[in-house]
Structure 1
């Protein structure tokens, strides 16, 4: 299969009141986008009206994801594939979304979670490793990424309870801000001087 072409314009603007769920990351099995699409399909069948936008280029294998996305397109579901985008387009997409769903099975860091939070957008993410560590300061809901029911339930809650999204946005606003120099100083202190390590 060929990769969906990247949109050369900014992310589509919000239309009406339909919530937007942004699913970010390269298309690889461990990013677990297939689980997000499965949850979305269950909720669409329940009658929920929302859009899923996917951002990210083709990775080493999208054999599981591609057929699922093709089926959703064939069924007329509101799924938009933006493909690989520029940094400016990614920022626009993050800011236009109501929430980001990033339930990766394993990550070295979980940059999509940090990027979404930096744009003020709540995140549904995995309840372990670096993703949980980032989420602990607020603005996120965490789930077991291997539990389809947990992902679906959390997504349903975030899509049907605007007060929950507002609570998460307030948590994001109260997260402590750190500059790159502060982060570098902390890292230097921990790694080189051996202080402050857990």
Structure 2
């Protein structure tokens, strides 16, 4: 309860969440532009970004300030405890990750592990993350597509429920699983390479 209070969420408004360092490749500006269009359509929700400024964030900061000045429910939390993050994922109707370049994509995986569907870039490793279910996949450079996906998850309870159900069928992997796979590769992979080198 304390963690949720610390997030200062607006009661009664659906929460759309985006977690991660704020920088151009994460493309949070696209989520802001999509949210602005949805607010202008009359959709009611709050948008919360949790993340620190990495670099080149001026356009993002200016857009947030302009939307706040217009009375839109958008906030940035620069630092959050694990409890706050967990509370945010659980409180969110869905999360948005429309990166144009990404490594593994830890935050979408965290959202899915918390049972919260995601609007997710249909690129690279994020495509792999989304393919197991629980994600509405989008082209991160297509504003209309991002708007449509966010609108769908804000307004269509049956689609949201279907994605939530998909999450419960996703393979659940733990750090122990990753460690075991890495260890297996180190032992068996190295042995296989040594055998191939000797042949």
Using the size of structure 2 for normalisation, the TM-score is: 0.88
Which of 26, 32, 37 matches 1:42? 37
Q: Does 1:183 align with 2:178?
A: yes
In the TM superposition, 1:1-12 aligns within 5 A as: 10-12=6-8
Is the contact made by 2:10 and 2:46 (CA closer than 8 Å) also made in structure 1? no
Q: Partners of 2:114 and 2:21 in 1: how far apart?
A: 20
1:128 aligns with 2:111: no
Q: 1:59 aligns with which of 54, 60, 69?
A: 54
SS in 1 for 2:184: helix
Whole-angstrom distance in 1 between the partners of 2:7 and 2:113: 17
Q: 1:86 is matched with which residue?
A: 81
Provide the rounded CA distance (Å) in 2 between the counterparts of 1:187 and 1:169.
30
- Matches of 1:73 and 1:193, distance apart in 2: 55
C-alpha distance in structure 2 between counterparts of 1:49 and 1:78, whole Å: 9
Q: Name which of 134, 155, 168 aligns with 2:163.
A: 168
Q: Does 1:69 align with 2:67?
A: no
Gaps in structure 1 of 5+ consecutive residues:
1-6
Deviations, residues 133-162 of structure 1 (Å, cap 9, x unaligned)? 111111111101011111011111111101
Q: What is the alpha-carbon root mean square deviation over aligned residues?
A: 1.9
Pair 1:13–1:52, CA change in 2 (3 A): closer
Aligned to 1:150: 145
Among candidates 101, 114, 117, match of residue 119 of structure 1: 114
Q: TM-score, normalised by structure 1?
A: 0.89
Q: How many residues align?
A: 188
Larger Rg: 2
Select the structure that is richer in helix. 2
Shift of 1:64: 1.7
Cα 1:192/1:134, change in 2 over 3 Å:
farther
